[in-house]
Amino acid sequence: MSEQEKPSQLLHLVFGGELSEIDKVEFRDLDKLDIVGIYPNYAKAYDAWKSKAQASVDNAHMRYFIVHMHKLLEPEEGR
């Protein structure tokens, strides 16, 4: 597969942690953040996020997020 045929890497970070309040995105303890992983596309990141979110459903303060790293790395592309 040539460079032009390769799908671009749209990196996504999945992480989570316990929030100090359920209506704010402020973590109780930054040392306890759960860095799930970095994924090559949104679909794989979503699968990881969903798995972690469902596993922590009993804790109302636990939240997981998907960060579009590719937008941070190359903001001018605007994808």
| Nearest of 27, 19, 17 to residue 52 by alpha carbon | 17
Query: Cα separation of 48 and 61, whole Å?
Result: 19
- DSSP bridge partners of 15: 35, 65
pLDDT tens by residue, 11-66: 999 999 999 999 999 999 999 999 999 999 999 999 999 999 999 999 999 999 99
So what's the pLDDT on residue 4? 63
So what's the pLDDT on residue 53? 96
Q: pTM for this one?
A: 0.82
- Contact call for residues 28 and 61 (beta carbons, < 8 A): yes
Q: Which domains does the chain carry?
A: 6-25+41-74 (3.30.70.2400)
So what's the pLDDT on residue 67? 97
